[in-house]
């Protein structure tokens, strides 16, 4: 015999699971504090300056 399933409870469980995955995605996208974002931007800028400063000039004759 098949197991009886309460459709209302199943629907709510499915909605909770969807909300949980959406929250995880939002944490990944927007989870940094302002200080962490500024620190990351500063690191990227510092590395970009270091790479640009280390490049050789290409003079074509």
Which letter does DSSP use for residue 4 in this model? P
Whole-prediction pTM: 0.47
8 A C-beta contact, residue 40 and residue 32: yes
Average pLDDT of 29-51? 92
Distance CA 14, CA 26 (A): 19
- Given a cut of 80, whether residue 36 has pLDDT beyond it is yes
8 A C-beta contact, residue 51 and residue 43: no
Which letter does DSSP use for residue 55 in this model? P
* Confidence (pLDDT) at 61: 60
Average pLDDT of 42-56? 92
Region of 12 please: left (phi>0), alpha (psi -120 to 50) or beta.
alpha
């Amino acid at each position: 015999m098949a197991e009886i399933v309460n459709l209302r409870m199943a629907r709510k469980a499915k909605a909770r699971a969807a909300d949980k995955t959406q929250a995880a995605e939002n944490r990944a996208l927007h989870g940094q504090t302002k200080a962490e974002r500024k620190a990351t931007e500063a690191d990227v800028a510092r590395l970009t300056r270091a790479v640009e400063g280390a490049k050789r000039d290409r003079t074509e004759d």
